[in-house]
Amino acid sequence: MSAIVLDTPDATTQLRDWLAGFQRVFVLTGAGISTGSGIPDYRDANGDWKRAAPVTWQAFTGDPAVYRRYWARSFVGWPKFSVAQPNAAHRALAMLEHDGPVTTLLTQNVDGLHQRAGSQRVIDLHGRLDQVTCLSCGHLTPRDVLQPRLVADNPHWHPGDAAMAPDGDADIAAEAEKIFVPPHCLLCGGMLKPDVVFFGENVPRARVQDAQAALGASDAMLVVGSSLMVYSGFRFAKMAADAGLPLAILNGGTTRADALATLRLDAEIGATLGALAP
């Protein structure tokens, strides 16, 4: 298949016609759908990292400096991340679930914006950033509850020049990272981790099985806003292609599954999907 590069009105027409041919569409979304809500993404149009790769599970749990660095940056990034609002693309997919062919939405994002837009059948492949779990006792805490504790534990701390980064992260001064007081579980003193899947960590098996079952019950797959460079998402596109399911991709730039797609749209995501709404 050769990629089809279209302007937005043509992409909307092509996508609307494609969706009309199916009754059960499995959708996978990535960071590109949330950039319209002000949340930065990780990769450029070629699928390459725009910045350093995210923290790994091994570093987070094995190096106190990395643990401290993560929470310092999260402390700064969380306020803006937590108030991000769904955009036209999120709302369009919710509409397509309510009135159209979308049966399951699998998202690689950890922002919860699909649910806030009204989507009901959502599988959060990589978890949600709005919960924090203790790695020792498993106690869950809402992220909003943790933020005041971080304020109280770091009363005179300042991040220096700061800029928002993907998934609730922020770029801050290196000196500030070194003196931040990170949080620990109030029940057992254990390390706290956002309830998301880090690089180097496995997606929970039950979550993968739920997504595989939903894909198996579908008659087509649509990918929106993901380069699919991470295997945890790419495997579903490969499964769809291996099963002979039509695969459409709407993404700004290259994806790992371009050669598998039966329809490839390179267009602005929010405008393309938003125009599907009546």
188 annotated as ligand-binding: yes
Alpha helices in the chain (DSSP H): 8-19, 57-62, 64-82, 88-99, 113-117, 143-153, 174-179, 205-216, 231-242, 269-274
Of 204, 58, 183, the closest CA to residue 127 belongs to 204
Q: Check whether 252 is labelled as a binding-site residue.
A: yes
User: Does the annotation flag 227 for ligand binding?
Assistant: yes
Residues with catalytic roles: 126
Instruction: Evaluate whether 76 touches 168 at the Cβ level (below 8 Å).
Output: no
Q: What is the DSSP letter of 90?
A: H
Q: Is 179 annotated as a binding residue?
A: no
Is 108 annotated to bind a ligand? Reply is yes
251 known member of a binding site = yes
87 is an annotated ligand-binding site residue? no
Cα–Cα distance measured from residue 37 to residue 165, given in angstroms and rounded to the nearest whole number? 13
154 is an annotated ligand-binding site residue:
no
Residue 62 in marked binding region:
no
Question: 3-state SS of the chain: helix, strand, coil percent to 5?
Answer: 40, 20, 40
Q: Per the annotation, does 123 bind a ligand?
A: no
Helices (H) and strands (E) in the chain, counts: 10, 12
**Half-sphere exposure of residue 159, counting CA atoms within 13 Å on the CB side?**
19
Rounded to a whole number of angstroms, the distance between the first and last alpha carbons of the chain is: 31
Residue 202 marked in a binding site: no
Please indicate if the annotation marks 21 as binding a ligand.
Answer: no
Q: How far apart are CA 276 and CA 278, in angstroms?
A: 6
DSSP lists the bridge partners of residue 49 as 43
Annotated binding site: 108-111, 134, 137, 185, 188, 225-227, 251-253, 269
Annotated binding site for NAD(+): 108-111, 225-227, 251-253, 269
Annotated binding site for Zn(2+): 134, 137, 185, 188
